[in-house]
Structure 1
Amino acid sequence: MAWILLGLAGLIEIVMALALKHTDGWTRPGPTALGIGAALASIFLLSAALRHLPVGTAYAVWTGIGAIGVTLAGIAFLGESAAPTRLLLIALIFLGIGGLKLLPT
């Protein structure tokens, strides 16, 4: 269950980052409220996962999910670079998350 909570926290972190991209320096109330709400929800779920997972592992996975998700969303929807080297480095983050999941907690 802790891993599920952590995965959800990471997915919500993606929502947070994408919402903050559209706040225009916190001048647009809708995206700002979504970003703040998503941040609070993500941190709440992360803290719940930390009851059963080591903090270093959980934090690395949480930020990794966010980094991968935001990068892929940026490529798919915001016209950001899909350079092969960038994709390779994102794949390495993905492999690191998978490796952390395989380790005993």
Structure 2
Amino acid sequence: MSWILLIIGGLFEVGFTTCLGKAKETTGAEMYWWLAGFAVSLVLSMGLLMKATQQLPLGTAYAVWTGIGAVGTVLIGIFLFKEPATFWRLFFIITLIGSIIGLKAVAH
């Protein structure tokens, strides 16, 4: 169950970075809605990380959480914000995913 909470927390990390990016692109009331989404996603992400670390090693949980956030944020950047999808960016995303899987595999 802790791994599921950690994965969901990582997805909320992607949510708060996405909201931050969208808030940067907007103004007025729409910007404040994105900032509210940022705040809610941030609280949920941190809360789920905290809950997951009650059962998982802190270093492993944090590395997996940030890895999910990093991979998801790069993918959102490519697909939503039209950032470049170069060979090396994709190569290192794949190595990061492999590292996340490896950390899960060796965790107790």
TM-score (norm 2): 0.92
Question: Equivalents in 2 of 1:2, 1:24: separation in Å?
Answer: 33
- Aligned residue runs from structure 1 range 84-95, under 5 A: 84-95=87-98
Question: Equivalents in 2 of 1:99, 1:79: separation in Å?
Answer: 30
More helix by share: 2
Matched, 1:77 2:80: yes
User: What stretches of structure 1 move > 6 A for 4+ residues in a row?
Assistant: none
Deviation string 1:55-81 (CA, Å, 9 cap, x unpaired) is: 100000000000000111111121101
Report the equivalent of 2:20.
Answer: 20
List gaps (5 residues or longer) in structure 1.
Answer: none
Deviation string 1:25-56 (CA, Å, 9 cap, x unpaired) is: 99621000000110000000000000010110
- How many residue pairs get matched? 105
Q: 1:54 aligns with which of 53, 57, 61?
A: 57
Q: CA RMSD in A?
A: 1.5
Q: Please identify, of 43-52 and 26-35, the stretch whose mean Cα deviation from structure 2 is larger.
A: 26-35
TM-score (norm 1): 0.94
Q: Is the 8 A contact 2:8 2:45 kept in 1?
A: yes
Q: Give aligned-pair identity as a percent.
A: 39
